[in-house]
Amino acid sequence: MLARSGLGSRREMEAVIASGRVLVNGTRATLGQRVKPNDRVALDGRAIAPKSEAGPARVLLYHKPAGQIVTTSDPKGRPTVFERLPPLRGGHWIAVGRLDFNTGGLLLFTDSGALANRLMHPQNEIEREYAVRVRGELTREQMGKLVRGVVLEDGPARFDRISSGGGAGSNRWYQVVLREGRNREVRRMFESLGVTVSRLIRVRFGPVVLPPYLRRGQWRNLDPKEVASLLGAL
Neighbours of 5 (CB within 10 A): 21
Residues acting as catalytic residues: 100
221-230, Cβ contacts within 8 angstroms, sequence gap of 24 or more: 221/58, 221/59, 221/60, 221/61, 222/59, 222/60, 222/61, 224/56, 226/59, 227/56, 227/57, 227/59, 230/59, 230/119, 230/206
DSSP of 145-194 = HHHH-EEETTEEE--SEEEEEEEETTEEEEEEEES---TTHHHHHHHTTT
State CA 131 to chain mean position distance: 17
Q: At 10, phi and psi to the nearest 5?
A: -60, -40
Coil, helix or strand at residue 2? coil
23 burial level (CB within 10 Å; 0-12, 13-18, 19+): middle
**Which stretches of the chain are DSSP H helices?**
10-18, 113-120, 140-148, 185-191, 224-232
